Amino acid sequence: ATPTALLVGTGRGAQLGIIIKGPQVLESTRRVDTVVLDKTGTVTTGTMTLVEVVTADGESEEDVLRLAGALEDASEHPIARAVADGARTRVGALPAVEDFRNVEGLGVQGVVDGHGVLAGRPRLLAEWSVSLPPSLTVAMERAEAAGRTAVAVAWDGVARGVLVVADAVKPTSAAAIERLRGLGLTPILLTGDNEATARSVAREVGIEDVIAEVLPADKVDVVKRLQSEGNVVAMVGDGVNDAAALAQADLGLAMGTGTDVAIEASDLTLVRGDLNAAADAIRLARRTLSTIK
Ligand code: ADP
Ligand code: MG
């Protein structure tokens, strides 16, 4: 390889808002044929807002907001930020939380005002033998079919309500995914979120293959499995959850708007957090390589 061509390639990368870890990275982009895209924060903005509060029979909206809001205020997750901010706007100051615990990929638990509170996936509630009444199950299904994320809320062993948060697809995602396809890559949407929400987002951006309800620790196994099936895999992600998968991928691309852990685990950083830079990077690397040969 001639160093000049590589430098030109990486210099142009910087202009396009792509930071390349080293020249060896260009080589690994050549054979990439599959691109795994994290949903939240990568394909979507990751900036969620609380859009709906549903209560079980006899429960008060204010209590649901106050207890779930207080609990989520202790978490950094985008869903938690939306719940806490939305709750504070609607009911004012939130009480303190004790014994807070984050249950990765499922939700959060803690004690608020002496009540043991849970917020997250129905699976988290089920682990505490709490089941949802049909009215709340219907509310969750309806929200998820519309591409939203529903958070089930319970305290003292009883399901009390559902909070619905919405996250918008980035305006640039659909066109960027079409460009990735044009470069011969098969896009796959990967998320810890539920299947219905994931399918709805995938439909909106033109992705057919969806791998949903994947726990954070299992994302890396999805990449390994795709590799063992003979695919050369690029992974694009933003979260702490994505770091192992980004490192495992043949080419890891981190959103510059994402976490430092994801950026460190990656070969390329897309400074603006725009998926179009992923297409630019792959095109650029292929061009640079053909200049070298
Ligand atoms: P993604 O892979 O899309 O970035 P995560 O793995 O972080 O998503 O989370 C998976 C799912 O777990 C979320 O879609 C949500 O349903 C649930 N969850 C995670 N953290 C929380 C939280 N703090 N509050 C409520 N639900 C949560
Ligand atoms: Mg994410």
CA distance 186 to 192: 20
**What does pTM read for this prediction?**
0.82
Q: Any idea what the Cα angle at residue 47 is, between residues 181 and 251, rounded to 5°?
A: 35
What average pLDDT score do residues 268-283 get?
A: 91
Query: In sequence order, what DSSP letters do the residues of 194-257 get, joined into one string?
Result: -HHHHHHHHHHHT--EEE-S--GGGHHHHHHHHHHTT--EEEEE-SGGGHHHHHHSSEEEEETT
| Ligand 1 pocket residue status of 252, Cβ below 6 Å | no
Neighbours of 23 (CB within 10 A): 16
Q: Is the pLDDT of residue 47 over 50?
A: yes
CATH architecture observed for domain 3-45+169-292: 3-Layer(aba) Sandwich (3.40)
190 C-alpha to center of ligand 2: Å?
9
87-110 per-position pLDDT tens digit: 999 999 999 999 999 998 899 999
Q: Where in the chain is the domain with CATH 3.40.50.1000?
A: 3-45+169-292
Instruction: Give the torsion through C-alpha atoms of 272, 232, 168, 80, to 10 deg.
Output: -90
Task: Name the pLDDT band for 9 (thresholds 50, 70, 90).
Answer: low
The whole-number pLDDT of residue 22 equals 78
Mean pLDDT of the chain: 92
CATH of domain 46-167: 3.40.1110.10
Residues 181/141, Cβ–Cβ less than 8 Å: no
Which residue lies with its CA nearest to atom 13 of ligand 1?
A: 193
Q: What is the ipTM of this complex?
A: 0.92
Task: Name the pLDDT band for 4 (thresholds 50, 70, 90).
Answer: very low
CA distance 233 to 213: 20
278 C-alpha to center of ligand 1: Å?
25
CA 50 vs CA 27, 85, 142: distances in Å: 44, 8, 15
25 C-alpha to center of ligand 1: Å?
31
Task: Name the pLDDT band for 74 (thresholds 50, 70, 90).
Answer: very high
Which residue lies with its CA nearest to atom 25 of ligand 1?
A: 120
With a CB cutoff of 8 Å and minimum separation 6, the contacts of 114 are: none
| Ligand 1 pocket residue status of 147, Cβ below 6 Å | no
For residue 30, the one-letter residue type is R
- Which ligand is in closest contact with the Cα of 190? 1
Residues 36/227, Cβ–Cβ less than 8 Å: no
155-200 per-position pLDDT tens digit: 999 999 999 999 999 999 999 999 999 999 999 999 999 999 999 9
Q: Is the pLDDT of residue 292 over 80?
A: no
